[in-house]
Amino acid sequence: MNINPISRLIRFGILAFDILVAAGLLLSAYGGAIDPNKSVWPQIFGMTFPAWIILMLVMVPVSFIIWRKSALLPTAALLIAMPAILTISPLHIGGALSQSERASSFSVMTYNVYGFVDHEFESDDSGGKGAKESRSLQQIIDTQPDIVCIQEGYNPNYRFKLQMDTVNKIYPYSNFIPEGGEIIFSKYPFKIVPTPQPAWHTAHYSAYELDVDGHPLLVVNCHLQSIGLTPDDKALYRELTDKRIESPTRSELSKVKNSILSKLAIAFKLRAEQARHIRQFLEEHPGNAILVGDFNDVQGNYAYRCICSAGMRDAYADSGFGPTITYIDNRFYFHIDQIFYRGDMRAVDIVRGDIKSSDHYPMTATFVWNAPDISHTD
């Protein structure tokens, strides 16, 4: 069969583009395993993974229409990337818990509350720093998860006394860590576990031993290194994405790109160090454990994989449905708040709140203790 030169050129172009997109998809899916101290580019690609998925889903039918054989490549790439795809977009349809499961269930929330400043109305004293009530605290009061782990939770007792009186009635056990603004509210008694760690600039973690209905449980609350964009960085980025700068100059684009990339590189390397430190802590404390917090990094990247290597499972991957985002500020939309677990339990549900009082959404996972394995002998 003779193929005219134009058709041959189109086929070559489709195949070349399929190869490019397949490479981008697989690098973004699995490149996060590479230590950022060796190269930060796989971590940056990891943040773009959802975009590569969409692009590849477009390329499969396009390639099939233009040249059927070329569709094999994007189809194969999607199949190879499927485990990573199902991590960020799982397909679990939760059913109703049985009576015995409800009796043995408990819930854990992670919530970066942005200093209890109402992010949506930050410039307005009625909702910002001068607010008399916190919508973030009200979210906790309304939903009442059994354990609440907060990041960036500074001084709620002084600013929201009436709400905190209610919170303290719901949660008889609590602790505040000033260094990271970490707070735990718990319906279960706990002991504070020492967590010796370096004095990281914007990162910290704390740990507690809980007794949850007779089950010992280690709970770790962490806040890993943020990117550290300045207000000027954020303002220029918003102007560009809002198209308030109609024709940005090369210097303006370069300024934003270089600032973000350099700060991303530093943050990736620091988060790798912090994640390894927490992994060692988890390995030194075997048994039932839940680790929650603001990772400032996406599923699949190095910090996430480092924690998984300590035998931890991702509650969202195990019980969620579809993709989600938890960070909603500055035109950056990512799933960076994580809930991990291990031990004699399973995640059966996970819910993301939709209140915009912070630059993060809260995440609440429900766990069920596994039934004891009772063997019968005749």
Q: How many CA atoms lie within 13 A of 354 on its CB side?
A: 0
Helix (H) or strand (E) holding 172: none
Helix (H) or strand (E) holding 112: strand 105-112
**Every domain of the chain and the residues it spans:** 5-88, 99-369
Q: Residue 203: its pLDDT value, please?
A: 93
| Architecture (CATH level 2) of domain 99-369 | 4-Layer Sandwich (3.60)
- CA 1 remoteness from chain centre: 52
Q: CA-CA distance, 271 to 179, in Å (whole number)? A: 17
- Which residues 6+ apart lie within 8 Å of 261 measured at CB? 44
| Phi and psi, residue 219, nearest 5° | -115, 125
Q: Which residue has the tokens 């677990």?
A: 341
Q: Which residue has the tokens 């009436």?
A: 162
**How do 147-151 and 105-112 pair as beta strands?**
parallel
Residue 110: count of CB within 10 angstroms of its CB:
28
Q: Residue 233: its pLDDT value, please?
A: 67
- Are 36 and 272 in contact by the 8 Å Cβ rule? The answer is yes
Q: Residue 154: its pLDDT value, please?
A: 87
Q: Residue 377: its pLDDT value, please?
A: 44
* pLDDT tens, N- to C-terminus, the chain (378 residues): 567 788 788 888 888 999 999 999 999 999 999 999 999 999 999 999 999 999 999 999 998 888 888 889 999 999 999 999 999 999 998 777 888 888 899 999 999 999 998 887 765 555 556 678 899 999 999 999 999 999 999 877 778 999 999 999 999 999 999 878 999 999 999 999 999 999 888 899 999 999 999 999 999 999 999 987 766 666 666 666 665 555 566 666 676 677 788 889 999 999 999 999 999 999 999 999 999 999 999 999 999 999 999 999 999 999 999 999 999 987 789 999 999 999 999 999 999 999 999 999 999 999 999 977 655 444
Q: CA-CA distance, 285 to 340, in Å (whole number)? A: 15
Beta bridge partners of 206: 221
Residue 304: exposure state from Cβ atoms within 10 A (0-12, 13-18, ≥19):
buried
Helix axes 135-143, 161-170, angle to 10 degrees: 20
How open is the CA angle 155-121-166, to the nearest 5 degrees? Answer: 40
- Are 342 and 370 in contact by the 8 Å Cβ rule? The answer is no
Helix (H) or strand (E) holding 368: strand 363-369
**Residue among 133, 201, 124 nearest 163 (CA):** 133
Written in H, E and C, the secondary structure of 95-149 is CCCCHHHHHCEEEEEEEECHHHCCHHHCCCCCCCCCCCCCHHHHHHHHHCCCEEE
